[in-house]
Amino acid sequence: MLKILYFASVREKLGQGSEELALPGGVTDIAGLLGFLAQRGGPWESLATFRNLRYAVNQEMVRLDAPLRPGDEVAFFPPVTGG
Amino acid sequence: MVRVQEADFDVGVELAALRREHPQVGALVSFVGVVRELNDAAGVSEMLLEHYPGMTEKALAAIVDEARRRWTIIDATVIHRVGRLLPTDQIVLVAVSGGHRGEAFAACEFIMDYLKTRAPFWKRELTADGARWVAARAVDEQAAERWQG
**What's the average model confidence in pLDDT over B33-50?**
87
Q: What pLDDT sits at residue B134?
A: 92
Domains and CATH numbers, chain A: 2-77 (3.10.20.30)
Class of domain B2-145: alpha beta
Q: What pLDDT sits at residue B17?
A: 97
- Kindly report the nearest CA distance between residue B22 and chain A, in angstroms: 28
pTM for the whole thing? Answer: 0.94
Q: Is B6 exposed, middle or buried (0-12, 13-18, 19+ CB in 10 A)?
A: exposed
- Kindly report the nearest CA distance between residue B81 and chain A, in angstroms: 9
Q: What pLDDT sits at residue B44?
A: 85
Q: What pLDDT sits at residue A36?
A: 97
* Helix, strand, or coil (residue B86): coil
Q: Give tens-digit pLDDT for B51-60.
A: 999 999 999 9
Residue B115 and residue B127: Cα distance in Å, rounded? Answer: 25
Residues of A in contact with B80 (CB under 8 A): 82-83
Res B39 pLDDT > 80: no
Q: Which of A5, A75, A81 sits opposite B121 (nearest CB)?
A: A81
